[in-house]
Amino acid sequence: MAIFKQKNNSVVDLSKIELPKHVGIIMDGNGRWAKKRGLPRSAGHSMGAQNFRTIARYCSNIGIKYLTVYAFSTENWKRPMEEVSALMKLFKSYLIEALTDFKDDSIVVKFIGDTTAFNPELQELIERTERESANRDGMVLNIAMNYGGRDELVRATKNIAQQVKDGVLDIDKIDEQLISDNLYTKGQPDPDLIIRPSGEYRTSNFMVWQAAYSELVIMDILWPDFSTNDFDNALEIYSQRNRRFGGI
């Protein structure tokens, strides 16, 4: 089925585009969005959270198989306490909504990152969300919370080293696949496309290992303003890229 979307004055026909299997989004620009309106940063996060829901459902509707969103990094704890608390409250309310909302779309929700750092109530909600969505058959949505790509690699390294120490793993068996299998995203394809709204040209510790050959699309739009049309435009840009994976 052709899905047509308005793109400025032209149209993006998604049926003519090879869709990425896995899309990563660095949801950036909430603070600037709020500042521009004279609002507290938490208002930007709130709009960003609403947009997260819209874009996640849209991805599922158009046939994206895996979506990973960067919601809270291992470095975000450094933010002022009020901002961190506002984010924790938002996570809680959006996870409660996600339990019902994403059910209609058969979305499987997974969390990547060290979720043991969150308060017990949020941890319980995280576990429940994962448990209740595990048997669905739709898009896999990874929510990266207390996630850092370097931290993920340190954990994988310790895990592998422990197995060698215990004598259950031969050092010669360590290869790229084994490292991938020790990451939070075990069993999932690497992201084909990573979108960063807000115009910053960096990946900020997002999927450090998995992003080795991802196509990066930077868009000068703050996350709360990032629309489904903008998503389509990112898909179109991605479809015009020539992926060579180091070949010619």
- Contact footprint for ligand FPP (CB under 6 A): 27-32, 45, 48-49, 52, 69, 71, 76, 90-91, 94-95, 143
CA angle 43, 86, 90 (to 5 degrees): 80
**What is the CB-side half-sphere exposure of residue 83 using CA atoms within 13 A?**
14
Nearer to ligand FPP, 182 or 196 (CB): 196
Which residue's Cβ lies closest to ligand FPP? Answer: 31
156 versus 221: smaller Cβ distance to ligand FPP? 221
- Residues comprising the chain, all counted: 248
How far apart CA 234 and CA 228 sit, in angstroms, is 10
Nearer to ligand FPP, 51 or 182 (CB): 51
Q: Which residues of 165-189 are buried (b: 16+ CB within 10 A; e: fewer)?
A: eeeebeeeebeeeeebebbbbeebe
User: Would residue 51 show up in a list of annotated catalytic residues for this protein?
Assistant: no
- C-alpha–C-alpha distance, residues 204 and 211, integer Å: 12
**Contacts (Cβ under 8 Å, ≥6 apart) of 39:** none
The four Cα atoms 20, 154, 83, 131 give a dihedral, to 10 degrees, of 60
In whole angstroms, the minimum distance from the beta carbon of 102 to ligand FPP comes to 11
Complex with ligand FPP: residue 76 or 239, whichever CB lies closer: 76
CB of 65 to ligand FPP, least distance (A): 19
The secondary structure of residue 118, as a DSSP letter, is S
**Residue in 28, 190, 192, 232 annotated catalytic:** 28
Active site residue 146: no
Nearest-approach distance from CB 195 to ligand FPP, in angstroms: 13
- The one catalytic residue among 76, 101, 151, 181: 76
Do the beta carbons of residue 206 and residue 149 sit within 8 Å?
A: yes
Smallest gap from Cβ 79 to ligand FPP, in A, equals 8
As measured in angstroms, the least distance from the Cβ of 208 to ligand FPP is 18
DSSP SS3 for 9: coil
What interhelical angle do 81-104 and 41-62 show, nearest 10?
20
State which residue, 180 or 228, has the beta carbon closest to ligand FPP: 228
Residues tagged active-site:
28, 76
